[in-house]
Amino acid sequence: MASRKALISVTLVAALGIILVLGYLAGRTFRDPARATTVAGMTVLEPASPLPEFRLHDQNNQVFDRARLQGKWSYVFFGYTHCPDICPTTLVVLRDAQKIAGGREQGVQYIFVSVDPDRDNAATLKNYLPYFHPEFIGATGSQGELMRLTRALGAYYETGKTRGGSPATAPGVALPPPSLESYEVHHSAAIFLIDPEARLRALFAGPHDAARLVQGLQRLKGG
């Protein structure tokens, strides 16, 4: 019993450490404190930061690049389909945000970028995202292109090699079966808000709330 308690304690400490590291790394998006302000539960960057060119592909095997972010506001979240908790939970929040916004938020897109291209191809994303919303966009690509985008945003991810286990699910969400070698991908839990000029405008740190996401966007749009 004592050894079991010790194992649980070590696990909790390790989990807390990961959360703190991810929070710190996500915060590196705003390297100049003078440019960042906290407004309505989000961190706003002034002036907004233009994104570089990058080239991914979406769930329909169409090119997903910087041009796909222009002309619309975009909520962007990084994760992977075998994610046991953070990813499905966050996608449910984004689904709820879309529902709250309803017809008021035309010209807004919700984007899930997989940082696990070894397991998440276009077909995987196409099967996965409809569990949350049929209009959600999924994208992934080579490690080089993913790094180009994540570094520009200050997002973080790292692939682990933890074998065994199976992914948990959010209520009512079916996930793909694990591969023969299951491993975790540690990643930032932040949601990034990109403006219609393909510039990083704001960041929402977790835990996420659908109403806060909608209110934040409306504030930035002046509505």
Tell me the three-class secondary structure of the chain, residue by residue: CHHHHHHHHHHHHHHHHHHHHHHHHHHCCCCCHHHEEEECCEEEEEEEEECCCCEEEECCCCEEEHHHHECCEEEEEEECCCCCCHHHHHHHHHHHHHHHHHHHHCCEEEEEEECCCCCCCHHHHHHHHHHCCCCCEEEECCHHHHHHHHHHHCCCEEECCCCCCCCCCCCCCCCCCCCCCCCCEEECCCEEEECCECEEEEEECCCCCHHHHHHHHHHHHCC
Domains and CATH numbers, the chain: 2-221 (3.40.30.10)
Which of residues 27 and 41 earns the better pLDDT score?
41
Provide the percentage of residues in the chain whose pLDDT is more than 70: 72
Percent of the chain with pLDDT over 90: 58
Q: Does pLDDT of 116 surpass 50?
A: yes
Handedness of CA 47, 75, 212, 28 (dihedral sign): negative
Higher pLDDT, residue 148 or 39: 148
pLDDT exceeds 80 at position 4: no
Global pTM reads 0.77
pLDDT at position 142 is 96
pLDDT digits (tens, 9 = 90+) for 80-94: 999 989 999 999 999
User: Quick check: 28 pLDDT over 90?
Assistant: no
User: What would the pLDDT profile of 124-179 be if each residue is shown by its tens digit?
Assistant: 999 999 999 999 999 999 999 999 999 999 998 998 754 333 333 344 555 555 44
